[in-house]
Chains A and B, each alone.
Chain A
Amino acid sequence: DAGVIQSPRHEVTEMGQEVTLRCKPISGHNSLFWYRQTMMRGLELLIYFNNNVPIDDSGMPEDRFSAKMPNASFSTLKIQPSEPRDSAVYFCASSWGTAKNIQYFGAGTRLSVL
């Protein structure tokens, strides 16, 4: 299996621009998670989906962030407009089923907002 695939691996953009991060979960997994990692705040869950439906978006920082999962094999995390404080590594993870199951992480997208 190819694992969780994220694109792009690196993104550099200017403040105010729209940024879209993409994730392809492992085939057959029905839960998908978006995390953000920073030095100051560590690893934070932003949002997670189960069967393509958002279950918990309480970690989404503000209205500038939005996430979609139009089908079982694709998800996006969008930031519009982007700000320098959004600079971080964004991870996508997927799993099958319940809390007992392992989350498999992608390699991450390193976002720099100038």
Chain B
Amino acid sequence: AQSVTQLDSQVPVFEEAPVELRCNYSSSVSVYLFWYVQYPNQGLQLLLKYLSGSTLVKGINGFEAEFNKSQTSFHLRKPSVHISDTAEYFCAVSDSQGGKLIFGQGTELSVKP
């Protein structure tokens, strides 16, 4: 069975500071990894995904994530955050067999001026 653990439920950070949101996964098979963002009262939007190839993946809004197979991690980073990045971020995993996504519990990113 697959599972996803987001290590921080809340991350407060000041504007223009760097941020890292941590995600670890557990799976016995090859996986695909995703980061989604949820703004207040909205559905989820894809930030980026890792399928194969380069372990550094770039997404929208200046975010990037690095796949680390040995550490089973897929941490999300941004070098300089904006107030508008305030949202909840979800890490998710799926296997190659089907479309089922398993989500982590989410990390609430709060960017302060």
Contact = CB atoms under 8 A, between A and B. Distances in A.
Contact of A100 (B43, B51, B90): B51
Size class of the contact patch on chain A: 20 to 34
Interface string A40-59: 00111100101000011000
A55 B43 CA distance: 23
Interface in A69-106: 91, 93, 95, 97-103, 105-106
A31 B105 contact: no
A111 interface: no
A99 B105 contact: no
Size class of the contact patch on chain B: 20 to 34
A103 B99 contact: yes
Contacts of A43: 44, 90, 103, 106
B44 A105 contact: yes
Given A42-B105, A42-B106, A43-B106, A99 B44 contact: no
Contacts of A48: 99-100
A4 interface: yes
Given A42-B103, A45-B101, A56-B100, A99 B42 contact: no
A56 B51 CA distance: 23
A33 B99 contact: yes
A108 B40 CA distance: 11
Interface of A: 4, 31, 33, 42-45, 48, 50, 55-56, 91, 93, 95, 97-103, 105-108
22 contacts: A31-B99, A33-B101, A42-B104, A43-B103, A44-B103, A48-B99, A55-B98, A56-B98, A91-B43, A93-B43, A97-B99, A98-B99, A99-B95, A99-B96, A99-B97, A105-B36, A105-B44, A105-B45, A106-B43, A107-B42, A108-B42, A108-B43
Q: Which 6 residue pairs of A and B lie closest in terms of their CB atoms, listed nearest first?
A: A105-B43, A99-B94, A43-B103, A105-B44, A42-B105, A102-B46
